[in-house]
Structure 1
Amino acid sequence: MQFGNMDSLEQHGFARNRLWSVDPDPPPCSSHASARAIVDLILTHSEEELKIWPHTFEFRLRVALSPAGDLMLTSRIRNTNTDGKSYTFTFAYHTYFSVSDISEVLVEGLETLDYLDYLQNRERFTEQGDALTFESEVDIIYLSTTKIAILDHERKQTFELRKDGLPDIVVWNPWDKKAKAMADFSDEEYKHMLCVEAACVEKPITLKPGEEWKGRQEISAVPSSYCSGHIDMRRVTFTG
């Protein structure tokens, strides 16, 4: 919650560093009726959060795993302010993928899209290539995205990422120099990871008191090293 710097907030917001509670009696959801396992997590404002972000909220995160192994993340954020004030925020899931070798990885589904390059002061460009490859540090936000595929040729595995309510995609890898400067990142770890995450950054979300926003990300792993143009569009449709 709250991607990027904003006033006194930390770089990627406070939600990722807080203690969540488990809902012992989660509400039913038709879109997860066939899930093998479901857990609902809840985060609400506290005195600590109110000091850095003076708004009240309820953040519900449902984590569901299907029998086929698909991971589904559904977030609901409600404005519970009683003072009549609206508030605005950005959002990103921060999903990190384990890959065999970053130099052998492709990301497809980004062609012809506009993007903001954070390594060039958020300058806006249009993607010209058929697939994104990695030879140096990358910190990009692609705008108005739909289906995404992460191809790991060495493992002969493809991750499919589908989403709803989250128009943007963040792609990040720190590469060698930045990895060495990060205290929580080993020097060689950048070779075996890639951050690709559903997000809402370019156009922040605004909620009036009592309003709720919903965003969803679904990830599947399929045993294929090539899926260009063959992502099953039926699986991009969300219900519930």
Structure 2
Amino acid sequence: MQFGTHGNLEKHGFARNRFWAIDDNPPPFPIGTAVKSFADLILKPSEEDLKIWSHSFEFRLRVALEPGGDLVLTSRIRNTNNDGRPFSFTFAYHTFFSVSDISEVRIEGLETLDYLDNLKGKERSTEQGDAIVFESEVDKIYLDAPKKIAIIDHEKKRTFVLRKDGLPDAVLWNPWDKKSKTTQDFGDEEYKHMLCVDPAAVEKSITLKPGEEWKGKMELSAVPSSYCSGQLDPAKVLQG
């Protein structure tokens, strides 16, 4: 639930490392939804959690698979403090996309945006060019990112389409060769076949008063890519 380092919390927070329970009282699906396969999970703080982050909360996560194969993740976080205290947090869906070869991948939707470069002490810059390609380590936070981002895999002729709501930022990460060799749970050559494009709310913290709830959503689709002179027709992916 916490992206980056915050106080005594581990780097990416504790929610990802906890046992979740089945949610017995999930929010209803929207009227007319066609979703048939889903799981509703809930996380509440344990006594140990309260020692490192002294706030009461409910974190509801719905994982749904739509009839066409799209994956939809919906997160709801509510402040359940009884002492009147608000709390603040940052958030990211930490995605790992499997790609044929990182040198054959391009990202469309983040061009011309301002970003914070974590490799340069969060120095602020503006992205140049008409798409993003990869030649070295990348760890950037793109600000005010659009609701739709395309991850184009030239070799597989496949495009991941990422849609997001309630998550204004996008984190782009690939560790490249040197960091891969120093990361315990990462193979030396695995950086060539992965990429993280994380819908996020990290540049500005989310603050909830007691009783308030925040909602964030991510949808993922995999679609065939069509090319003309090596370029994806953006009307086929980024529009609609």
What TM-score do you get using the length of structure 1 for normalisation?
0.94
Give per-residue Cα distances to partners, 1:154-199, cap 9 Å, x unaligned.
0000000111000000000000110010110011110100000100
1:183 match:
184
In the alignment, the residues of structure 1 paired with residue 113 and residue 145 of structure 2 have an alpha-carbon distance, to the nearest angstrom, of 7
Pairwise CA distance, 1:36:
3.1
Contact 2:159 2:224 in 1 (8 A): yes
Pairwise CA distance, 1:229:
2.1
The one-letter code of the counterpart of 1:73 is: L
The one-letter code of the counterpart of 1:184 is: D
The percent of aligned pairs where both chains have the same amino acid is 68
1:221 match:
222
Pairwise CA distance, 1:95:
0.8
Q: CA RMSD in A?
A: 1.3
1:237 match:
none
In the alignment, the residues of structure 1 paired with residue 36 and residue 109 of structure 2 have an alpha-carbon distance, to the nearest angstrom, of 29
Alignment of 1:12-91 (within 5 A): 12-24=12-24, 26-30=26-30, 33-91=33-91
1:238 match:
none
Contact 1:151 1:225 in 2 (8 A): no
Q: How many residues align?
A: 234
In the alignment, the residues of structure 2 paired with residue 22 and residue 59 of structure 1 have an alpha-carbon distance, to the nearest angstrom, of 12
Partner of 1:233, secondary structure, is: coil
Give per-residue Cα distances to partners, 1:23-74, cap 9 Å, x unaligned.
2453321178211311111000111111110100000000011111101010
In the alignment, the residues of structure 1 paired with residue 58 and residue 32 of structure 2 have an alpha-carbon distance, to the nearest angstrom, of 21
User: CA separation of 1:225/1:101 partners in 2, compared to 1, >3 Å: closer, same or farther?
Assistant: farther
2:110 match:
110
1:153 match:
154
Pairwise CA distance, 1:4:
0.3
User: CA separation of 1:112/1:172 partners in 2, compared to 1, >3 Å: closer, same or farther?
Assistant: same
Provide structure 1 residue ranges, at least 5 long, that are not aligned to the other structure: 235-240
Partner of 1:183, secondary structure, is: coil
Contact 1:144 1:167 in 2 (8 A): yes
Partner of 1:49, secondary structure, is: helix
Pairwise CA distance, 1:232:
5.2
The one-letter code of the counterpart of 1:221 is: A
User: CA separation of 1:194/1:225 partners in 2, compared to 1, >3 Å: closer, same or farther?
Assistant: farther
In the alignment, the residues of structure 2 paired with residue 232 and residue 70 of structure 1 have an alpha-carbon distance, to the nearest angstrom, of 16
1:131 match:
131
The one-letter code of the counterpart of 2:194 is: M
Deviates more, 1:15-24 or 1:194-203: 15-24
Give per-residue Cα distances to partners, 1:86-142, cap 9 Å, x unaligned.
010000000110000001000110111100000010000011111111111000010
1:201 match:
202
